[in-house]
Chain A
Amino acid sequence: MAVVSLSDAEKFFIVHGIEDEGLRTDGRSCEDYRCIELETGLLSNTYGSSRLRLGNTELLAGIKIELGTPNPKNPDEGWVEFHIDCSPNASLAFQGRGGQELSNGICCHLSRIYNNKSALDLKQLCIVPHHHCWVVHVDVIVLEYGGNLFDSISIAVKGALHNCGVPNVNVSAGDEGEFEINLPDDPADVNKLKISSCPVLVTISKVGNRHIVDPTLEEEFCSHASLIVGVTSKGLITGMKKVGSGSLCPESISEMLQSAKSVGKRINSAFTKLMKTEKGIAKSVEKTGYL
């Protein structure tokens, strides 16, 4: 995935730094994240949006909601659809159809993690059982790629969902058993989604015989196997995926899962704190955006 190339000596330096001292080239320890900048509610033409910057990785997430018919298997639930666009501006590897495989992989993983009961209560997306429900379309565009894409996309998605307001419709019975759905006049008459148990993805990469969190492009190049784990704020693991050509032995997998749990809990608590702060200063400060 990474387009960076390193010499053998540089790889040796990075791997031994992590294995012997637990010190990475930018001074972080194995479980330290780079500073994350997150802002929500900056796009006025979406129901919810967020912008995230983690090191050199920059993303923009937007949410659109439309009416749909519920799946007969789950008649009282709506669902969430994801679409990731790895823009060729982000990295040389994404030019042409290069980013397609990566974005499909991330979409599948996110759908698996979100469309189950432990993550998001899909019943809040139901309007009329068997007839109407909300379909939430989450679109993410990757503007710059500096490593650690899965984690940043999951935090941006959680931010956008937190900001998302579902219109408070009233349903009236029309003729011939059809239902009439009326949108409220006031655009601020919305219901916020309950996202407290939404998971956050944590990427743990194996470098040498230790594992690190939040790898940069150079560290991704040195690591042959990574685990991507979905962790909720209570430390519950909702899904796991292994990427990379290397192999992992069962002991290291359990160690990595332990790290993932503690790191995931910390990310979720930092996220909740930031959302509270943002809500507190909401009307007085204008959004930073891109200018």
Chain B
Amino acid sequence: MSSNKTIEMKLPSKRQKNAVQNVSNRMLVTPGDVITEDTIYMKGHGTYGTNIEGDKRVIASVAGVVEPINKLICVKPLKTRYNGEVGDVIVGRIKDVQQKRWKVETNSRLDSVLHLSSVNLRGGELRRRSAADEFAMREYLKEGDLISAEIQQVHADGSLSLHTRSLRYGKLGQGCCVVVSPSLIKRRKNHMHNLSCGVSIILGNNGYVWISPLVKTATDSEAGDGGFDFDKEPVTADDRETICRVRNAILCLAKHSVMLYDTSVQYAYDKSLDYEAKHLLSDDVASEIVDRTLMEIDLLKGNA
């Protein structure tokens, strides 16, 4: 318990225009802005053209950053619902239990689907799903549960099919979930990390970040069973403090629109050790930590 018990009440501060990084050489557009009138460019995601004869303009349809890839012009939106790609790792919350499938909330435009045949059941992988399995669905995953899964398929209407057919995925146990915008999660080869500070994080591509105590490696037979029963052992005080700190550090980074990946989260954690975990919630401490993290990342880029 801290001895500093004053309640902070202050006047609101004017909204600061945070300097957006690395934008000087890129174009920021809003819907309706003309990107180019050159005919050599093809229109990609986030753009459209009027189909009028003689009108060759490429116009932005979302607010975001223009990304030209050779002759293709796309606009990557700054704030959007999650658009899934096959192979993405996501963290989702079960919304509904239906016949032979679960509906999962993944911060996308439509609910994602997790079929009964796409999960690992107790008793081996190749077992045929019976009627008994169908009735026992709620015992495994019920409304409100969090799962980590991979996207198997993207349907024509944009809805996602998930699967947890690996020992790495499945129901999540004790820990803390932070929601940030999906555009802040950097696409990497690996999204599940064990940070050196002693917690493991899953940076879901859909913006849900899961922080939990270190996952024991699946060397014994019970571990990595897809998380049928969560570990009811209370989390230690040190782990809890670290989880709080990582959570607040991620929220600071998200507030300042810094891309989230294992290195940036690790650096933000290190820089935050000078302050108490709960003080990271205030604006001035948050900007100080973000500035120092960005400096460290630039140094790393400069050396590389």
Given contacts A12-B232, A26-B278, contact A5 B248 (CB under 8 A): no
Name the interface residues of A30-72: CB closer than 8 Å to any CB of B. 30-39, 51, 53
Q: Are B144 and A7 in contact (CB under 8 A)?
A: yes
Q: Are B2 and A29 in contact (CB under 8 A)?
A: yes
Q: Are A270 and B144 in contact (CB under 8 A)?
A: no
Given contacts A29-B1, A39-B12, A274-B9, contact A21 B230 (CB under 8 A): no
User: How far apart are the CA atoms of A266 and B8 in the complex, in Å?
Assistant: 10
Pick the contact of B9 from A17, A22, A32, A36 — CB < 8 Å? A36
Output the residue of B175, B232, B237, B240 with the most chain A CB within 10 A. Answer: B240
Q: How many residues of B contact A (CB 8 A)?
A: 43
User: How far apart are the CA atoms of A34 and B7 in the complex, in Å?
Assistant: 8
Q: How far is the CB of B179 from chain A (nearest CB, A)?
A: 11
A20 / chain B contacts, CB cutoff of 8 Å: 234, 237
B9 / chain A contacts, CB cutoff of 8 Å: 35-38, 267, 270-271, 273-274
Q: Are A278 and B2 in contact (CB under 8 A)?
A: no
**Interface flag for B6 (CB, 8 Å):** yes
Given contacts A23-B240, A27-B248, A37-B12, contact A16 B235 (CB under 8 A): yes
Q: How many residues of A contact B (CB 8 A)?
A: 43
Q: Are B11 and A37 in contact (CB under 8 A)?
A: yes
Q: How far is the CB of B70 from chain A (nearest CB, A)?
A: 41
Q: Are B281 and A35 in contact (CB under 8 A)?
A: yes
Q: Are B244 and A266 in contact (CB under 8 A)?
A: no
B5 / chain A contacts, CB cutoff of 8 Å: 31-32, 266
Nearest neighbor of B230 in chain A, beta-carbon distance: A9
A288 / chain B contacts, CB cutoff of 8 Å: 11-14
Q: Are B1 and A9 in contact (CB under 8 A)?
A: no
Q: How far is the CB of A73 from chain B (nearest CB, A)?
A: 37
**Interface flag for B276 (CB, 8 Å):** yes
Nearest neighbor of B232 in chain A, beta-carbon distance: A12
Given contacts A27-B277, A29-B2, A35-B282, contact A266 B248 (CB under 8 A): no
Q: Are A27 and B12 in contact (CB under 8 A)?
A: no
Output the residue of A8, A22, A277 with the most chain B CB within 10 A. Answer: A8
Nearest neighbor of A30 in chain B, beta-carbon distance: B1
User: How far apart are the CA atoms of A97 and B74 in the complex, in Å?
Assistant: 43
Name the interface residues of B234-252: CB closer than 8 Å to any CB of A. 234-235, 237, 240-241, 243-245, 247-248
Beyond A27-B241, A35-B10, 7 additional pairs, beta carbon < 8 A: A7-B172, A9-B175, A24-B244, A26-B244, A26-B248, A38-B10, A288-B11
Report which B residues bind A (CB closer than 8 A).
1-2, 5-15, 93, 143-146, 171-177, 230, 232, 234-235, 237, 240-241, 243-245, 247-248, 276-278, 280-282
A–B pairs, 21, beta carbons within 8 Å:
A9-B173, A13-B174, A13-B175, A17-B240, A21-B237, A22-B1, A24-B244, A25-B243, A26-B248, A27-B244, A27-B276, A27-B281, A30-B1, A32-B5, A35-B281, A39-B11, A39-B12, A51-B12, A270-B7, A288-B13, A291-B15
